[in-house]
Amino acid sequence: MLRFTTAGESHGPALTVVVDGMPAGVPVDRAAIDADLRRRPGGYGRGGRMKIETDTVEITGGVRHGLTIGSPVSLLVRNRDHQNWLDVMSPDPQPEAARERRRLRYPRPGHADLAGALKYGTRDLRNVLERASARETTMRVAAGGLARGLLRAAGVEIRSHVVRIGQAALPAGPAVAWDELDRVEDSPVRCVHADAAGRMVAEIDRAKKDGDTVGGIAEVIARGLPPGLGSFAQWDRRLDGRIAQALMSIHAVKAVALGEGFAGGDTRGSAFHDEILWTARSGVERPTNRAGGLEGGVTNGEELRAAIVVKPIPTLLIALRSVDLATKEPQKASVERSDTCVVPAAGVVAEAMLALVLADALLEKTGGDSLDEVLAHLEATRAQQRALAGPE
């Protein structure tokens, strides 16, 4: 229902996204999108590039007077750093010197350099890294801002927080509650727990001092979702699979868990599943939410919780062994200006990807060409669900 396509290179003139399928009448809050764009390059452990790019969104189609009009929405973010790359990134033919100047020769283990060169047959790895770079996630965050506008109107909010960086993790205990997430944006590592945040910062400092990088885990949470989004009826309509694909597509994400999914392999069923209770005052209730809001690939009315494991990023100052593809001689991997830890930023991107998948699933459930139609159908669905499982 909701599709989006991004385009643009990391050091090209601009990045763009076209979002197709947004109903008419959805509020578009440009300031909120810019605020999300500012959260993406933030977080302790980011590198020099992030100080150059102060991203702001330009709306180039599909919105009038603060509301979508039903046509495709196109958004644009200019790369300020492009001014330093005019000849290197020029779309027009350039003299040899410009072609050689920022050529990347030695593929970085863990990055897309080698696989991309083999795929496209290019000897200049810059052609790969310019698009494989996570700079692309800028436009996912911008598109996610549109999706959040639709979800907000339907009563759905999405937040994220950092659970672990390297060996520093939140203390074991109950899941982080929604209200605790108010503290996230005041933390340099987007972590709700001050002591754990201090240990996370120290992990990043140690990795940076060693010329190394460090990964971690972030959790993304959606609240206010109606039950019944997604379907168990076909494999590709299961919402668990769609969310996992969207989160796994984020650069450096290597594992995705729904709820307490990582614990599912070593916990007995009786300790893992969420019992179903009913009270006259509240209707159906779940005393726990280990499933993370999804059963059978369908939302069950609980908070949707998904965790992502983010690997340590590939560009290392203590470069790993690699090969010069031209001479086949051993070489240390190329070093580009780089971050030390991107876990806090990956959480922000995960919010956007989850918003896009949930907005798509909501539209699939309700249909509708306008926000009013979406909300009317949603209210009818909620009434039906109250009759089935609500209070007396």
Ligand X SMILES: Cc1cc2nc3c(=O)[nH]c(=O)nc-3n(C[C@H](O)[C@H](O)[C@H](O)COP(=O)(O)O)c2cc1C
Binding site residues, ligand X, CB under 6 A: 47, 110-112, 132-134, 137, 250-252, 311, 313-315, 338-339, 342, 345-346, 349
Q: In what helix (H) or strand (E) does residue 97 lie, and over which residues does it extend? A: helix 96-101
If the CB atoms of residues 68 and 137 are measured against ligand X, the closer one turns out to be: 137
Q: In what helix (H) or strand (E) does residue 209 lie, and over which residues does it extend? A: helix 194-209
Contact (Cβ atoms closer than 8 angstroms) between residue 256 and residue 307: yes
If the CB atoms of residues 134 and 229 are measured against ligand X, the closer one turns out to be: 134
What 3-state class would DSSP assign to 8? coil
* 67-68 and 63-64 strand pairing: antiparallel
If the CB atoms of residues 10 and 366 are measured against ligand X, the closer one turns out to be: 10
Q: How far is the CB of 246 from ligand X (least distance, A)?
A: 13
Q: How far is the CB of 269 from ligand X (least distance, A)?
A: 33
Q: How far is the CB of 50 from ligand X (least distance, A)?
A: 9
If the CB atoms of residues 23 and 347 are measured against ligand X, the closer one turns out to be: 347
If the CB atoms of residues 132 and 362 are measured against ligand X, the closer one turns out to be: 132
Q: Which tokens is 354 given?
A: 């989850």
If the CB atoms of residues 32 and 248 are measured against ligand X, the closer one turns out to be: 248
Locate the DSSP E strands across the chain: 3-7, 14-20, 58-61, 63-64, 67-68, 73-78, 157-165, 168-169, 216-223, 253-258, 277-279, 283-285, 294-295, 298-299, 304-310, 321-323, 330-332
Q: How far is the CB of 353 from ligand X (least distance, A)?
A: 11
Q: How far is the CB of 261 from ligand X (least distance, A)?
A: 20
Contact (Cβ atoms closer than 8 angstroms) between residue 381 and residue 366: yes
Q: How far is the CB of 135 from ligand X (least distance, A)?
A: 8
**Cα–Cα distance for residue pair 61/71, rounded to 1 Å:** 8
